């Protein structure tokens, strides 16, 4: 092997090494090393985000949850109030998770957790709830 070829190979390895470890903590696109969020308050993509329980959106979702529960549990007369937690999660649409106080026409009261899926066209469906099933 000639000196020129050997020098060229050595120079290529040196340049490749310098490109792979440039001394900074940057994470080039395509790297398999996860990148931490720059701020602890930055939401994680796909993760749940806490929302204000007194926002117009939260109040509208509470009404939607009440309507969807009454469609599922006919004649239960469910009324939701006192929204204590509201989170959203972006998926192929949005998941809305609510925790609130419920009462029904039988006089029962308690806490309820409800998940509503909102598709990309805005249609909503009840995907999970812990309402006590009637006996």
| Cβ-based neighbour number of residue 37 at 10 Å | 10
125, part of any domain: yes
Residue 109 belongs to a domain with what CATH number?
3.10.450.10
Structurally, the chain folds into a number of domains equal to 1
Domain range for 63: 48-129
39, part of any domain: no
30, part of any domain: no
Mean pLDDT of 3-15: 50
Contact 64, 97 (CB under 8 A): no
Mean pLDDT of 20-32: 45
90, part of any domain: yes
94, part of any domain: yes
- Map residue 27 onto helix, strand or coil: coil
The pLDDT of residue 46: 80
> Side-chain half-sphere of 84: how many Cα atoms within 13 Å?
9
104, part of any domain: yes
pLDDT at 34 over 60: no
97, part of any domain: yes
pLDDT in tens, 83-115: 999 999 999 999 999 999 999 999 999 999 999
CA 49 to chain CA mean position, Å: 6
Contact 78, 131 (CB under 8 A): yes
Strand partners, 100: 112
Contact 116, 65 (CB under 8 A): yes
The pLDDT of residue 116: 98
**pLDDT-wise least confident of 39-43, 61-65, 82-86, 92-96:** 39-43
């Amino acid at each position: 092997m000639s000196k020129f070829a050997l020098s060229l190979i050595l120079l290529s390895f040196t340049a490749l090494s310098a490109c792979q470890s440039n001394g900074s903590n940057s994470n080039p696109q395509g790297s398999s090393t996860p990148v931490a969020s720059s701020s602890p308050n930055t939401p994680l993509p796909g993760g749940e985000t806490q929302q204000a329980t007194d926002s117009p959106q939260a109040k509208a979702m509470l009404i939607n949850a009440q309507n969807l529960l009454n469609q599922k549990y006919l004649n239960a007369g469910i009324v939701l109030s006192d929204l204590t937690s509201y989170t959203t999660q972006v998926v192929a649409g949005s998941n809305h998770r609510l925790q609130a106080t419920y009462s029904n026409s039988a006089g029962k009261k308690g806490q309820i957790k409800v998940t509503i899926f909102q598709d990309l066209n805005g249609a909503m469906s009840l995907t999970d709830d812990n309402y006590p099933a009637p006996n």
